Chains A and B, each alone.
Chain A
Amino acid sequence: MSGFSLTPVQRQILKFFQQHPQAVETVRGIASWLGHEAKVVEEALKELVGRRWLATDETSAVRGYALTGDRRMLTQIQEALEGS
């Protein structure tokens, strides 16, 4: 078990990426898919990136978020979604 309790927004974000594992999205993109404020989504993303469940790719102009390709992390995500 990952021992990590997800906030509702984090849960929605992870479900979005589980549903669309190929997606590479910006904060604003994720916010519009989930119907939340960009600020709220950005805050939720920080911890998910910190846990390496989401990967980022960024330039000075844009930052894209994507689901990790690491199978161990994907299992942790599944456990966290089932546990919370």
Chain B
Amino acid sequence: MEQTFEKLSQHPSLRRLHEVITAPVSRPIWWVIPGDAPKTLNYSQACRTCRFVQKPANRRICQRQFLSALEEARKAKGPVQFVCPIERHAVCLPVMQQDQVRGYLAMCHSEQPVPSAELKLAGLTVATAAQEMERTQELKNLSDAIQPRCVALSTIHTIHRLISSTLNLKELLPRVARLCCQVLRAQSCAIWLVDRQKRLLIPRAVVELRKGKSWTLRPCRVGSGFPGQVASTCQARLSKRMMVVPLVEEDCVGVIMVRRYRPSQPFSTLDQEILTTLAEQAVVAIGNAQMYETQERVTWGTIKSLSEILNSMEPYSSGRSLGHRILAEAAVAIAQKMKLPLSAQRPLQYAALLHDAGRLGIPQEILRKPTKLEPAEFAKVKEHTIKGARLLQPFEILEPALPIILYHHERYDGTGYPKGLKKDAIPLGARILAVANAFEAMVCERPYRGAFSVTQAAHEIASHSGTQFDPAVVEAFLSLVQSGKLQELVDSAGSKEIR
């Protein structure tokens, strides 16, 4: 309140009042007196101007009279003028807010009385300034009360956007854990999901923000330990340093636990409310991600079956499915090396399995021909990219994979087919598939030739960097060869057709 009163005394309209009143009266002493019923006055300022109050005994006389005038002004709720012991004139102006006296502005040591018109004006000015200050303070209080809630609401909204746009459970759960730590200023957070068949809680994400510390989680039985009890009762647990809330969607699907290690900041019931809100959002996102993953598995299974069927209809089909698996995994490994998002890796995987679907439309005698193809025959073979894309077009899920299938025989220098696209005009997925396809073709044994080793294949691909293949893709591919990842891939295929 004193701060407010201090501000009030600095108000521009009161400064103006100071000038108006000071003009006709000579060398006045101004007082800013906070509080409705002050018991003493601070004479440090007055002593510099008034010799009378420099003596303690006189100061007591002055103070008694001054305080009595203030009391009078408080009762009157208006200005009071009086004459001091040394026959100088003084004025007290009560400062009112909400009908309460918050303090006083006073002036003394004037040789003349303040004219009544100016006194009235002074009273009005003080009242107006006080009202304005009151409104400003009210607004500030309101803003101070509302802003944290608005920020919290906005945070919940941002978190909702972050987690609802994450459909990969492996990304979602650590993200939820990180956000819980952030919003609750917790040092660690863990999420378990319920395995209904085994009645177990399986740890799925853990975030530990303390440097050099780790939090190892093990599966726990539903019903035992803090997380297990919360999962079985669906009731949150709160202690000073730890909170556990259930993830409930009809039944309990998991629990979130957060921990703080600073005793000075214990968890409160408000923190529990916040964590419960986050858990409610998380459970919807988890449900969506699980549904999406199921759908992805079904799609992937369908595409694999489709690829198997298509391969079985081709000549020399023995080992092709295995080859396609190598091709798909090599393509995804290159894409990951090039830091392509997951949304771009999936279509590449689909395209890898189905890239030669169009060969079904090519006469068998051409595909089976053991000798070099005639130009007209090769022209027929080249149609397989267009035919494949056309064949798969009705599958909506394959839409992002179609450009990869259509252009996987384009060459970086523009001499490929079907359109002779150059460099970046060729979709990146198609440029990656071209390298993976060449790799697979070389490391797989064919009835008409033996298999290359990974090193030989890498050497061959490197020699066509910048002409047939995108140098950036080749660079990623070669670094995978160097790390031994592609050798591992070929070895794990473990077929006699593949070395």
Q: Is the CB of B158 within 8 A of A59?
A: no
Which residues of B from 144 to 202 have beta carbons under 8 Å from A?
A: 148, 151-152, 154-155, 158-159, 161-162, 165-166, 175, 178-179, 181-185, 187
Complex Cα distance, B154 from A29, in Å, reads: 8
Q: Is the CB of A22 within 8 A of B185?
A: yes
B44 at the interface (CB under 8 A from A): no
Complex Cα distance, B373 from A23, in Å, reads: 67
Q: Is the CB of A69 within 8 A of B209?
A: yes
Q: Is the CB of B158 within 8 A of A69?
A: no
Closest CB in chain B relative to A31 CB, distance in Å: 12
Q: Which residue of A lies closest to B154 (CB)?
A: A29
Which residues of A from 61 to 78 have beta carbons under 8 Å from B?
A: 61-62, 64, 66-67, 69-70
Closest CB in chain A relative to B354 CB, distance in Å: 25
Q: Is the CB of B165 within 8 A of A66?
A: no
Interface residues of A, CB < 8 Å — how many? 21
Q: Which residues of A contact B116 (CB under 8 A)?
A: none
Q: Which residues of B contact A33 (CB under 8 A)?
A: 151
B447 at the interface (CB under 8 A from A): no
Encode contact with A along B422-464: 1 for CB under 8 Å, 0 otherwise.
0000000000000000000000000000000000000000000
Encode contact with B along A36-76: 1 for CB under 8 Å, 0 otherwise.
00000000000000000001011111101011011000000
Q: Which residue of A lies closest to B181 (CB)?
A: A69
Q: Which residue of A lies closest to B152 (CB)?
A: A22
Q: Which residues of A contact B184 (CB under 8 A)?
A: 22
A83 at the interface (CB under 8 A from B): no
A6 at the interface (CB under 8 A from B): no
Known: A23-B151, A66-B182. 11 other contacts (CB 8 A): A21-B185, A22-B182, A22-B183, A24-B155, A24-B158, A24-B159, A29-B154, A57-B179, A59-B166, A62-B162, A69-B181
Decide: A61 near B154, CB < 8 A? Known: A20-B148, A21-B185, A69-B181: no
Closest CB in chain A relative to B377 CB, distance in Å: 45
B45 at the interface (CB under 8 A from A): no
- Most B Cβ at <10 Å: residue of A24, A57, A60: A24
- Most A Cβ at <10 Å: residue of B152, B182, B184, B343: B182
B394 at the interface (CB under 8 A from A): no
Q: Is the CB of A57 within 8 A of B178?
A: yes
Q: Is the CB of B185 within 8 A of A60?
A: no
Q: Which residues of B contact A69 (CB under 8 A)?
A: 181-182, 185, 187, 209
Q: Is the CB of B343 within 8 A of A60?
A: yes
Q: Which residue of B lies closest to A21 (CB)?
A: B185
Closest CB in chain A relative to B343 CB, distance in Å: 7
Q: Which residues of B contact A64 (CB under 8 A)?
A: 158-159, 161-162, 179
Q: Which residues of B contact A70 (CB under 8 A)?
A: 209
- Most B Cβ at <10 Å: residue of A26, A29, A57, A59: A59
Interface residues of B, CB < 8 Å — how many? 24
Q: Which residue of B lies closest to A63 (CB)?
A: B162
Q: Which residue of B lies closest to A20 (CB)?
A: B151
Q: Which residues of B contact A22 (CB under 8 A)?
A: 152, 155, 182-185, 274
Q: Which residues of A contact B274 (CB under 8 A)?
A: 22
Q: Which residue of A lies closest to B271 (CB)?
A: A22
Q: Which residues of B contact A21 (CB under 8 A)?
A: 185
Closest CB in chain A relative to B159 CB, distance in Å: 6
B225 at the interface (CB under 8 A from A): no
Q: Is the CB of B179 within 8 A of A24?
A: yes
B212 at the interface (CB under 8 A from A): no
Closest CB in chain B relative to A18 CB, distance in Å: 12
B341 at the interface (CB under 8 A from A): yes
Q: Which residues of B contact A26 (CB under 8 A)?
A: 158, 161
Q: Which 10 A-B pairs have the closest CB atoms?
A: A61-B165, A59-B165, A62-B161, A20-B151, A64-B158, A66-B182, A24-B155, A22-B183, A24-B158, A69-B209
A–B pairs, 11, beta carbons within 8 Å: A22-B152, A23-B154, A33-B151, A59-B165, A60-B341, A60-B343, A62-B158, A64-B158, A64-B162, A66-B182, A69-B182
Complex Cα distance, B143 from A33, in Å, reads: 12
Decide: A57 near B155, CB < 8 A? Known: A22-B182, A69-B185: no
Q: Which residues of A contact B151 (CB under 8 A)?
A: 20, 23, 25, 33
Complex Cα distance, B187 from A55, in Å, reads: 15
Q: Which of A23, A55, A60 has a CB less than 8 Å from the CB of B155?
A: A23
Complex Cα distance, B120 from A50, in Å, reads: 62
Q: Which residues of A contact B154 (CB under 8 A)?
A: 23, 25, 29
Q: Which residue of A lies closest to B262 (CB)?
A: A71
Q: Which residue of A lies closest to B159 (CB)?
A: A24
Q: Which residue of B lies closest to A71 (CB)?
A: B211
Q: Which residue of A lies closest to B209 (CB)?
A: A69
Q: Which residues of B contact A20 (CB under 8 A)?
A: 148, 151
Q: Which residue of B lies closest to A29 (CB)?
A: B154
Q: Which residue of B lies closest to A59 (CB)?
A: B165
Complex Cα distance, B187 from A1, in Å, reads: 26
Q: Is the CB of A57 within 8 A of B162?
A: yes
Q: Is the CB of B158 within 8 A of A25?
A: yes
